[in-house]
Structure 1
């Protein structure tokens, strides 16, 4: 029987694996992808992190390159692969988990297509980006209208036609809208409200230098300032004013009919394509343990569930603002690692 099975071989799972490897524990990291880092490789082509290299390290290995440069998504993927190799972490690739079941005497059975594992404890480090959310009324758009969720968007070539609506204006939505406008599309951005814009650099320093110095990445989800930042969902690094001079601003999309999206103000907008930057919903169909709420989201406190031996890691705002961020997830991993090594 293994001490721990970690479900998910992204940055959270690898950071925790580093602690367990150093302690000589018997464990496995199960990942559904063919290569470490593939979740990053599949994101859109031009994606760069907001955080400069100096803030992107996992425990034990600096992120390579110019400390002030912002890495591409492939740079991150390659770093994660190098990290797993460097520390000889036991990542089992092509191993999607099909079931996590508690055993009557304690511990868990974890099933994959090729193997079944027995473990005293399980850590779900599968991230927060599970099932792309697209409104049900999207089905009422005409077949000629191209629809792409932001998770499957790669570049403007996927979005033919002249008139495009990007639905959702978080950081992903505004970046995709900006890229499509630069590629010559007539872009409209549909959103009820756009969060406050923050520049990538301020007073000669990267904004994450300021976040680090001021301690804002360590804010808890229930602290007064943490609640305000979480609700505001700030836009980082995109000049929103300049963007709104290039694209149309639309009210919230509330429906669809034929080649039109229907807006909350009662108007309609004809479209050739829609990019749904509408986020994700939690999805743990394989987790046969009663630790999810009515929406399918995990019920936990700082990643600790009420079921003995079952934990989560790498969720947004799990403990702090940085809990799901590459360069900060190691702090949560260290705390959980200590708990696991104590046998809690």
Structure 2
């Protein structure tokens, strides 16, 4: 007989486990299907020296808050993995590891038919908790890079020692690209960094972590419907900063002073192994700095409104500017032996055969609730607020969905787990 559950949750990261906690607490029959292992992306998709960029005190899952001795610090990759694994163990989450979901479609009589690597299942309701970053994105330009050059996506980067000796080209300055460039630089590699349009933020300002200020200001609580950009915020690039060594700014200008070589947007890779760039470097650096200083302006205004006593701090002054922007890089002549592509991911929902997507392939939803009865998303970037998809607000998003689901699944609420 086909196995049936009231709810099937797809994905056993922090989002799927948060939903499982609420369903367990409400006594709802469910199973969590995970194609790999619990929280594996934290271990398999991060480099050796990875740290969170948000403070540990923001790591709060339903019924499970950070309980270490460094709340203002930044957990390493292994500690985050352990944090999520311990969460699953804390309430006996019904996770089935190494079970891949092959397809989900609406069943003729209602509910959903779920085809998996372990056989067919059905469910009254399905929660898709696989995040928004599925397939590593590498541009077609990479096909023209000489075969002698090692190329990897940022999700496969582990350490400088794992790459061939020589210089490294990092393409992209989002959170991963900027931090990987820093990691390589600190290991003594000659780094060539292609700067994109990602903004940056100061780690500390006026005596506190900027995340703490933004938390107090309610920035993480503002819903996407209240933002001027509306749904376009879901395509926003996160600000680059680091939690390494207790946390600090990532200042690409300072890296340049210290020998890192910076370039504007990559436009072409010639058959001769020569890369060509648009003269956008200075513009990118200025724009990133402007965002950082704008956040400081908001913090200053908040401090003034609230009448808070906070130390005054000098504003940032650019420590370096390009005298002229490089337009070419000969990989062989420069001794570059590796390229790290840090240009993001593509969504892949081909297995979800339900009409809940817009014209660009984005899940169409309101706070995770779709137009298809009983189908929900959880853990998406900007699902509702800036913190959605991260530890900052996934607990709140999971609770909201659990409340939406409860009447339909006839949930009862026993003693709290």
Give me the TM-score of the superposition, normalised by structure 1: 0.93
Give the superposition deviation at 1:206: 2.2
What residue is the counterpart of 1:119 in the other structure? 123
- Once residues 31 and 122 of structure 1 are traced to their aligned partners in structure 2, the CA distance between those partners, rounded to angstroms, is 14
> Paired residue for 1:36?
38
User: Structure 1's 261 and 293: CA in aligned 2 closer, same or farther, altered over 3 A?
Assistant: farther
Match of 2:344 in 1: 279
CA contact (8 A) 1:7 1:97 kept: yes
- Mapped pair 1:178 → 2:182: yes
For 1:273 and 1:222, locate their aligned partners in 2 and report how far apart those are by CA, in whole Å: 42
1:283–1:297 Cα contact (<8 Å) kept? no
Structure 2: distance between partners of 1:71 and 1:130: 24
User: Counterparts of 1:30 and 1:193 in 2: how far apart (Å)?
Assistant: 36
Cα contact 2:233–2:382 (8 A) shared by 1: no
Residue deviations 1:289-316, cap 9 Å, x none? Answer: 1222344321222212111111111100
Q: How does 1:44-55 map to 2 (within 5 A)?
A: 44-55=47-58
Q: Check the 8 A contact 2:9/2:16 in 1, yes or no.
A: yes
Residue 159 to residue 226, structure 1, CA distance change in 2 (3 Å): farther
Structure 1: how far apart are the matches of 2:61 and 2:406? 19
Q: Distance in 1 between matches of 2:101 and 2:120?
A: 9
* 1:214 Cα deviation after fit: 0.8
| Aligned position for 2:245 | none
3-state SS of the aligned residue for 1:5? Answer: strand
| Structure 2 equivalent of residue 242 of structure 1 | 254
- Answer yes or no: is the 8 Å Cα contact 2:174–2:240 preserved in 1: yes
- Does residue 63 (structure 1) correspond to residue 76 (structure 2)? The answer is no
Matching of residue 100 in structure 1 with residue 104 in structure 2: yes
Q: Could you tell me which residue of structure 2 aligns to residue 90 of structure 1?
A: 94
**1:244 & 1:300 partners in 2: Cα distance?**
43
Aligned to 2:361: 296
CA drift of 1:91 comes to 0.6
| Displacement after TM superposition at 1:162 (Å) | 2.5
The offset of 1:229, in angstroms, is: 7.8
* Stretches of structure 2 lacking an aligned partner (at least 5 in a row): 243-248, 280-325, 332-336, 410-417
> What secondary structure sits across from 2:62 in the alignment?
coil
- 1:310 maps to which of 375, 385, 389: 375
Give aligned pairs, total. Answer: 342
Q: TM-score, normalised by structure 2?
A: 0.78
1:21 pairs with 2:24: yes
Structure whose alpha-carbon radius of gyration is higher: 2
Distance 1:232 1:80 in 2: 25
The answer to whether the Cα contact below 8 Å between 1:133 and 1:278 also exists between their aligned partners in 2 is yes
Structure 1 residue 109 corresponds to structure 2 residue 113 = yes
Distance 1:264 1:16, change over 3 A: same
Counterpart for residue 145 of structure 1: 149
